[in-house]
């Protein structure tokens, strides 16, 4: 959560997913639109354990086409675990994950990529000994049919074309983030998972990357992202979901949520609203 951010207190922008309304397909931005269609991704009652530790408890969410769905929460809240479970790297103890009408709870990660769920992992995780181009080619190796290919990625990030023969390890953080996104895009996902995009990057770089989101959405993508920077998340997202110690504490559209409600949900403060799951409460 960015300490300096006045936006959190003064923010009122409704439908704050930039450009979401410009895309073809359902526009989730303004208000409650009844015609949202069927959810493209449905998570129900997800519970995940890491050994003895319960990382997620009974988490549910629904992702509709064209959404930019942001998951926020403090460190250790379970955000990355949620994403890892959705893309298949962690196995849930209970609950289900449905892509359209297919249950994918037990499907291996690479098969989920083939089904259309692709994650840009936390920390970029490019292949350091491969060049930029080779990184993209690996992403495209088992890709679905669709508009995205390395050439299209170069159009999105113009600078990449000239640097494509450079080894990935030599790029700056922001450039690596762009390549990582490109690597995910060339697989032609339906649901793009973005894990902590802003980690380790300068704010101006982060904003630039978030500004590419509209173009991605325009091609029919749906985005599920985890973001440390709450104000950034609230700016970019059409829906927000807050986690605390593995449980859902808040869910809704940024425009409908007051800053104090978000704060309460984030920190687990006692709230006059729906939730009692504060710190120091009952046994875990």
> Where on the chain is the footprint of another protein (CB under 8 A)?
49, 51-52, 87-91, 108-110, 113-114, 118-119, 121, 125-130, 134-135, 137-139, 141-143, 183-184, 187
User: Phi, psi (5° rounding) for residue 19?
Assistant: 75, 0
Nearest CB to another protein, comparing residues 142 and 172: 142
Least Å from the CB of residue 51 to another protein: 7
Task: Please state, in angstroms and rounded to a whole number, the distance separating the CA atoms of residues 64 and 95.
Answer: 19
CA distances for 221 relative to 54, 68, 188, 214, 218, angstroms: 31, 9, 9, 10, 7
Nearest CB to another protein, comparing residues 113 and 160: 113
Least Å from the CB of residue 225 to another protein: 15
Task: Please state, in angstroms and rounded to a whole number, the distance separating the CA atoms of residues 49 and 54.
Answer: 4
Task: Please state, in angstroms and rounded to a whole number, the distance separating the CA atoms of residues 227 and 195.
Answer: 7
Nearest CB to another protein, comparing residues 11 and 119: 119
Least Å from the CB of residue 151 to another protein: 18
Helices (H) and strands (E) in the chain, counts: 11, 10
Give the residue ranges of DSSP H helices in the chain. 7-10, 79-87, 109-115, 132-140, 150-156, 158-162, 173-185, 203-210, 213-218, 230-236, 259-267
Question: How many other C-beta atoms lie within 10 A of the C-beta of residue 121?
Answer: 18
Task: Please state, in angstroms and rounded to a whole number, the distance separating the CA atoms of residues 137 and 66.
Answer: 26
Closest CA to 97 of 107, 264, 89: 107
Least Å from the CB of residue 135 to another protein: 8
Nearest CB to another protein, comparing residues 108 and 279: 108
Nearest CB to another protein, comparing residues 114 and 257: 114
Least Å from the CB of residue 21 to another protein: 30
Nearest CB to another protein, comparing residues 63 and 118: 118
Least Å from the CB of residue 19 to another protein: 27
């Amino acid at each position: 959560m960015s300490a300096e951010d006045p936006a959190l207190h003064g923010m009122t922008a409704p439908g704050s997913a930039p450009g979401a309304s410009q895309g073809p397909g359902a526009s989730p931005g303004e208000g409650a639109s009844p015609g949202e269609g069927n959810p493209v991704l449905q998570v129900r009652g997800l519970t995940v354990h890491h050994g003895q530790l319960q990382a997620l408890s009974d988490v549910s969410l629904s992702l509709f086409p064209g959404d930019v769905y942001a998951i926020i929460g403090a460190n250790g809240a379970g955000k990355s675990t949620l994403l890892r479970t959705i893309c298949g790297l962690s196995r849930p103890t209970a609950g289900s994950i449905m892509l359209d009408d297919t249950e994918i709870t037990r499907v291996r990660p690479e098969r989920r990529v083939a089904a259309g769920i692709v994650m840009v992992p936390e920390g970029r995780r490019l292949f350091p000994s491969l060049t930029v181009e080779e990184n993209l080619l690996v992403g495209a190796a088992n890709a679905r049919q669709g508009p995205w290919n390395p050439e299209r990625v170069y159009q999105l990030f113009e600078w990449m074309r000239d640097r494509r023969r450079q080894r990935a390890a030599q790029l700056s953080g922001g450039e690596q983030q762009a390549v990582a996104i490109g690597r995910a895009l060339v697989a032609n996902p339906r649901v793009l998972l973005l894990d902590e995009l802003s980690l380790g990057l300068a704010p101006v770089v982060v904003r630039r990357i978030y500004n590419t989101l509209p173009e991605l959405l325009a091609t029919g993508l749906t985005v599920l992202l985890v973001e440390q920077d709450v104000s950034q998340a609230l700016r970019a997202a059409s829906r927000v979901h807050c986690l605390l110690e593995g449980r859902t504490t808040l869910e809704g559209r940024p425009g409908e949520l007051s800053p104090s409600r978000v704060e309460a949900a984030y920190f687990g403060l006692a709230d006059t609203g729906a939730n009692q799951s504060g710190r120091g409460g009952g046994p875990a």
